[in-house]
Amino acid sequence: MNRSETVLAFEKIVGTENVRLNELLKNHTSFKLGGPADIFLTPRNAEQLGRIIGLCNSNQVPFFIMGNGTNLIVRDKGIRGVVIKVFENFREYSVEGEMITAEAGLLLSQVANIALENELAGFEFASGIPGTLGGAVTMNAGAYIGEMKDVVCKTEYMDREGNLKTLEGEAHQFAYRKSFIQEAGGIVLKTQLRLKKGIKADIKNLMDDLNQRRKDKQPLHMPSAGSVFKRPEGYFAGKLIEDCGLRGFRLGGAEVSEMHCGFIVNADNATAEDVLKLIAHIQKAVKEKFGVMLEREVRIVGEE
């Protein structure tokens, strides 16, 4: 099957309006950088997603799944093959007692507001984290007082062959910024959260407090991919970077944030190459001064 035939096959699955060619991924990442995707698809449901994956696998077409691109650096040459974005759809949810069941495309802020409106506590920590529920489950996202592992009890996902599977409890194998789904390359479709009844005013006050702390300390007004590095045991990545004298250090258009040294921001039309060079520079400086090798938290994808 040649490229034209492949595109036509995708259009039959998701509709012409949900197929874009040579789509610039800088328009789909919070860092505002990244080259084109050969074919960019926005399926509307799990059935379409499964058919897309089946078509890709049967024709040896590589595919990449993305949410809303908040923890992602796409290289300047872009991504060959197919990029499947699940953020624009997959947003259904239901609430039953102390349980919220939500699809992967919902933003964490949206899920937090659903919890608030239903007077459910335990998800306040995620209210200000950028990104989708699916991405958060995949990487066990967390902030301040909690992580996804504290509230996730069941997840429906699709494996790389297009099969629907379910995980419950400890089968998620949550660890610091990782999970079984991440290791297996699975695609989160729907997650069930176990929360607890609370007082609406208390829930809102805690959300407001955590969000204000984030606004006061993080460069939310500038394009970035959030915290660049995982927290090394016994240290704080931002403090190590600051103590290397790198606050405000810039390579090209990429800059170590003046507000929080754990963030790299797109200060002036940065390229992905600018960011990657700055990451390497930071890692080298911290390793030389403190003997600590910073491990990336952001994901890097695309053609080198």
Active-site residue numbers?
A: 177, 227, 297
Q: Is 282 exposed, middle or buried (0-12, 13-18, 19+ CB in 10 A)?
A: buried
**Residue 286 identity:** V
Q: Give CA–CA dist 207/123, Å, rounded.
A: 9
DSSP letters for 21-57: EEEEGGGGSTT----EEEEEE--SSHHHHHHHHHHHH
**Cβ–Cβ under 8 Å, residues 67 and 88:** no
268: nearest Cα among 35, 32, 74 = 32
Listing DSSP states for 150-214 in one string gives GTEEEEEEE-TTS-EEEEEGGGG--BTTB-HHHHHT-EEEEEEEE-EE--HHHHHHHHHHHHHHH
- Calpha distance 90→102 (Å, rounded): 9
Question: Please, are residues 23 and 9 in contact by the beta-carbon 8 Å criterion?
Answer: no
- Residue 260: Cβ-neighbour burial (10 angstroms; 0-12, 13-18, 19+): buried
Residue with token string 């300390």: 217
**Computed over its alpha carbons, how large is the radius of gyration of the chain?**
20
12 CB neighbour count, 10 Å cutoff: 12
Cα(10)–Cα(48) distance, integer angstroms: 9
